[in-house]
Amino acid sequence: MHAIDNAPDTAGLVPLAAEIIQFIQETPSIFTLRLRFTDPAAHAAYRFAPGQFNMLYLPGVGEVPISIVSDPQDEHLYDHTIRAVGRVTHALANLREGSRIGVRGPFGRGWPLTEAQGRDVVIVTGGLGCAPVVSVINYILKRRAQFGHLTIMQGVRHADDLIWRERYEAWAELPDTQVLLAASDGSPIWPWHVGHVPDLFDQARLTPGVSLVMMCGPEGMMRAASGDLIARGIPERDLWMSMERNMHCGMGLCGHCQMGPKFVCQDGPVFNYPEIKALLARKGV
Amino acid sequence: MQRRFIPRQGLEPLIRQTLDAGYRLHAPQSTDGAILYRPIHHSGQLPWGLHDHQAPGHYRLLDNGSPRAFAWATGPQALKPLLFRPSEPIWTLDLDSDGRPSFIGAAHTEAPLALLGLRPCDLAALALQDAHFLHGPYPDPAYAARRRGLLTIAVNCSHPAATCFCAATGDGPNAQGGYDLLLDELDDGYLIESGSAVGKTLLDRLDTLPATDMQLEAMATQRASAVRAQQRKLPNAEQLARLPAQHDHPHWAEVAERCLACGNCTAVCPTCFCHAHRETPALDGQSSVHSREWDSCFTSGHSYLHGHVVHTTTRERYRQWLTHKLAGWVEQYGRSGCVGCGRCITWCPVGIDLTVESAALVDANPAQGE
């Protein structure tokens, strides 16, 4: 056995220890871990792009792939927002500030932020899967002059599922920014649309050739939204989406994340629509 | 390339020289009713006189009194479990008294491995496993460590089984490369040639004779007859490229009526690479071993995704396996993931035959027989 510090051939394969500097309870089942690698050199060297993910390891329990929501240039901490749904995420929910976990990553291909420069950006998310695009929203807002009009569209099943409500409200006040929210199941204090996200495309600023769309959420929602956007003249090459599969290794080796011939962990998780449209059209791929 | 001849008893010095060079030598041996690669110390351990009778869902070893050691086609496993272990640790976690974790990566310090008796289909599968484990963005250190010093002593396949179709996939029955030494087995001995500098060094240490014209002629005849002996074949590449578009073909449900989703096909396939990560914590909670073990796309856990399963039915799992093997690999690694070894046919408990099923799915006519 050898110490991993001097073993570059295990890069990505063996976790690095990280400490939870802040634990934020977003909703009863959703929480954010703000992390720092315990090795200052590793922390300083760590780089990621919005849309990439880490494998978070809870000692003795196991690993789970989680997207990174913080800004890539925030050298202080990096954040993971997690919903407790399975064995590992339920256990992660019990951690507190000062707890240490293992982190491998970052893995995969993130959002097309270079292609998006100078373009109008439309963010379309559904369900609770908005975490992968929050990093993009923050990225754009911090570099506002580099991008055109920003439209943020979020659909949730029930009004209570919306997290970061204050952030949406704050974003809606920003110049050149549009926030459109929908809940399939509204509530008495839900001021936005009751229905599905694609219902809101009529209100969104969509300009074929100018708008670049980034999507995240259930495959059915992205399939429907893509069809609708293409019908509205948005070129297929301007549609991008983050896919989810069962990553064990994150390195394109274990085979669990395959979607047709794509290794979602390495070829994605962010894909350009033409790359996966044939796969998206087939159920159970 | 200089082809030489060694008599039958010349295998003993070949084994001796390989062991003396520091290799862990594995060679085919009759084990629990099948031919498996096991550590070998002398040539008497080889499966002399044995023949394998294979058919869909059927494998039997018969002693046919042949003077040969390689008068059989394939066993259930060859090289895969030796390079890509069925189970192995990736890292070990230790918690100190304050609960702080440290991670130690697994070390790989075994002596170099040599295999005697590999088939051309095994060499083709090795090249495919190399493409997956070594040539991607994250080369696998465990596989790389075992692969680095690997010595391959291949034997051309003179007795293909009824389940074999390597001639159709272009991977056998005669090796085109990828070996250090290559043997053709004749009744009285072996024609031997080297395919690498390491192989040549080993060959130079053996007492060999020049190959006679008669031996070379016997070799050519045997090689040609091994090709002719194969009756199964896969649909061609152009036909297999249609497989992903057959996603809704009713034949998937028909296969699923017979398929047990047991995963035998993926376990015996020499190219299947899927593996799961597993956690084995110590009882005191102070340490844990994170390992990987072979997994199969026929399990529900393979496509588990936060609370649901992507491939819920046997139909979807068989479709995932066959479509990936015969079409997905082409995009991923430039060729089909099937090397024609026929193991998935032989070791399927209900005898499902991928040559027949793939032909039905792409509307091709398979050449098939027993």
Residues A101 and A119 in one domain: no
Residue A4 pLDDT > 70:
no
| A61 touches B at CB < 8 Å | yes
Q: Are A170 and A239 found together in one domain? A: yes
> CA–CA separation, A110 vs A49, rounded Å?
6
Chain A hits for B244, CB-CB cut-off 8 Å, are: 260, 278, 282
Q: What is the pLDDT of residues B97-127, one digit of tens each?
A: 988 999 999 999 889 999 999 999 999 999 9
B313, closest residue in chain A (CA to CA): A284
Inside any domain, residue A238: yes
Model pLDDT for residues A42-74, shown as the tens digit of each residue: 999 999 999 999 999 999 999 999 999 888 877
Can you tell me which residue has the tokens 């003795």? A60
State residue A55's pLDDT score: 96
Candidate from A7, A63, A86 with C-beta closest to B306: A86
Residue B305 predicted with pLDDT over 50: yes
Per-residue pLDDT of B220-242, as tens digits, reads 999 999 999 999 999 999 999 99
Is A6 contained in some domain? no
**What DSSP string describes B10-48?**
GHHHHHHHHHHTT-EEEEEEEETTEEEEEE-SSGGGS-T
* % of chain B beyond a pLDDT of 90: 93
The model's confidence at residue B162, banded by pLDDT at 50, 70 and 90, is very high
Give the model confidence (pLDDT) of A265-278 as tens digits: 999 999 999 999 99
Same domain, A40 and A179: no
Which amino acid belongs to residue A10?
Answer: T
Q: Which of A59, A248, A255 sits opposite B101 (nearest CB)?
A: A59
- For residue B259, give the 3-state DSSP assignment: coil
Q: What is the CATH number of the domain that holds A59?
A: 2.40.30.10
Residues with Cβ within 8 Å of B170's Cβ and at least 6 positions away in sequence, in order, are none
Bridge-based pairing of strands A177-185 and A150-158 is: parallel
Q: Tell me, what's the pLDDT at A254?
A: 97
Which of A107, A129, A157 is a domain's end point? A107
Among the partner residues B91, B274, B328, nearest to A14 by beta-carbon distance = B91
A27 and A55, same structural domain? Answer: yes
Query: B71 with B50: CB under 8 angstroms?
Result: yes
Using CB atoms and an 8 Å cut-off, which of residues 228-257 of chain A contact chain B? 244-246, 248-249, 251-256
Please check the confidence at residue B315 and state whether its pLDDT lies above 70.
yes
In a domain, A9, yes or no: no
If we measure between CA atoms, which residue out of B138, B174, B76, B116 comes closest to residue A251? B138
Give how far Cα A151 sits from Cα of A51, A147, B311, Å. 18, 11, 35
pLDDT of residue B366: 54
User: A44 in a domain, yes or no?
Assistant: yes
A127/A244 same-domain check: yes
Which residue segment(s) compose the domain that A220 sits in? Answer: 113-280
A5 in any annotated domain: no
Tokens of A240: 């991008």
ipTM: 0.92
Average pLDDT over residues A230-249: 95
Mark whether A276 and A135 lie in a shared domain. Answer: yes
Q: If you count them, how many residues does chain B have?
A: 370
Rounded average pLDDT over B260-280: 97
DSSP assignment letter at B107: P
Q: Which of B103, B134, B147, B312 is the best residue to mutate to test the A interface, defined by the most A CB atoms within 10 Å of its own CB? A: B103
Are A261 and B327 within 8 A, CB to CB? yes
Q: Identify the helix (H) or strand (E) that includes residue B273.
A: none
H-helix or E-strand spanning residue A281: none
Tell whether A87 and A208 lie within a shared domain.
no
CA A225 → CA A126, A230, A236, A284, distances in Å? 10, 9, 12, 19
Shortest CB distance from A61 goes to which of B248, B279, B331?
B279
Per-residue pLDDT, A7: 39
What pLDDT score does B220 carry? 97
Last residue of a domain, one of A73, A107, A141: A107
Strands A239-242, A258-259: pairing kind: unpaired
Q: Report the pLDDT value the prediction gives residue A80, as an integer from 0 to 100.
A: 93
In this model, does residue B167 exceed pLDDT 90?
A: yes
Exposed, middle or buried, A42 (CB in 10 Å: 0-12/13-18/19+)? middle
Please tell me whether residues A129 and A82 are part of one structural domain.
no
A201 near B CB under 8 A: no
Closest by CA position to B271, among listed B171, B350, B153, B365: B171
Does any domain span residue A1? Answer: no
pLDDT of res. A53: 94
Give backbone dihedrals phi and psi of A144, rounded to 5 degrees, phi first: -55, -35
Could A253 and B95 be called an inter-chain contact, meaning their C-beta atoms sit closer than 8 Å? Answer: no
Residues A151 and A275 in one domain: yes
pLDDT score of A167:
86
Residue given tokens 């060729």 in the structure block: B335
Phi, psi of A175 (to 5 degrees): -65, 150
Q: Is residue A154 part of a domain?
A: yes
User: For the segment A214-228, what is each residue's pLDDT rounded down to a tens digit?
Assistant: 999 889 899 999 999
Please check the confidence at residue B255 and state whether its pLDDT lies above 90: yes
What CATH number is associated with residue A212?
A: 3.40.50.80
Q: Is residue A10 part of a domain?
A: no
Domain count, chain A: 2
Q: Which helix (H) or strand (E) holds A16?
A: strand A16-25
Last residue of a domain, one of A80, A107, A134: A107
From chain A, the residues in CB contact with B331 under 8 A are 261
* Cβ contact B301:B316 at 8 Å: no
Taking CA–CA distances from A104, the nearest residue in chain B reads B103
Instruction: Tell whether the model's pLDDT for residue B369 goes beyond 50.
Output: no
Distance from CA of B26 to the nearest CA of A (A): 25
Q: Dump pLDDT digits (tens) for B6-23.
A: 999 999 999 999 999 999
Distance from CA of B251 to the nearest CA of A (A): 16
> What is the tens place of the pLDDT at every residue in B68-93?
999 999 999 999 999 999 999 999 99
Instruction: Give φ, ψ of B332 to 5 degrees.
Output: -75, -40
User: Which of B247, B266, B286, B293 would you mutate first to test chain A, the one with the most A CBs within 10 A?
Assistant: B247
In this structure, what are the phi and psi dihedrals at residue A25, rounded to the nearest 5 degrees? -85, 105
- How many other C-beta atoms lie within 10 A of the C-beta of residue A212? 25
Mean pLDDT lowest among A159-168, A274-283, B152-161, B231-240: A159-168
Q: Are residues A147 and A244 in the same domain?
A: yes
Indicate if the pLDDT at residue A176 is higher than 90.
Answer: yes
Same domain, A188 and A90: no
Phi/psi of residue B31, each to 5°? -135, 120
Q: What is the DSSP string of B289-305?
A: EEEEEE--TTSSGGGEE
Q: Region B329-351: what's the mean pLDDT?
A: 97
Q: Do B134 and B140 contact (CB within 8 A), yes or no? A: yes
Task: Give residue A8's pLDDT.
Answer: 39
Q: Nearest 5 degrees, angle CA B153-CA B158-CA B163?
A: 105
Q: Are A137 and A283 in contact (CB under 8 A)?
A: no
For residue A254, give the nearest of B101, B275, B279 by CB distance: B275
| Average pLDDT along chain A | 90
Burial grade of A249 (CB within 10 A; 0-12, 13-18, 19 or more) = buried
- Specify whether A32 is located in the same domain as A132: no
Name the band, by pLDDT with cuts 50, 70 and 90, for residue A129.
Answer: low
For residues B259 and A190, the model is more confident at B259
The mean predicted confidence, pLDDT, of chain B is: 95
Q: What pLDDT does residue B368 have?
A: 44
pLDDT level of residue B45 (50, 70, 90 thresholds)? very high
Query: What are the helix (H) ranges across chain B?
Result: 11-20, 80-83, 120-133, 141-148, 166-169, 197-204, 213-228, 237-240, 251-258, 264-268, 314-323, 329-333, 343-346, 354-362
* 3-class DSSP string for A86-151: CHHHHHHCCCCCCCEEEEEEEECECCCCCCCCCCEEEEEECCCCCHHHHHHHHHHHHCHHHCCCEE
* pLDDT computed for residue A10 by the predictor: 62
Q: Is A209 exposed, middle or buried (0-12, 13-18, 19+ CB in 10 A)?
A: exposed
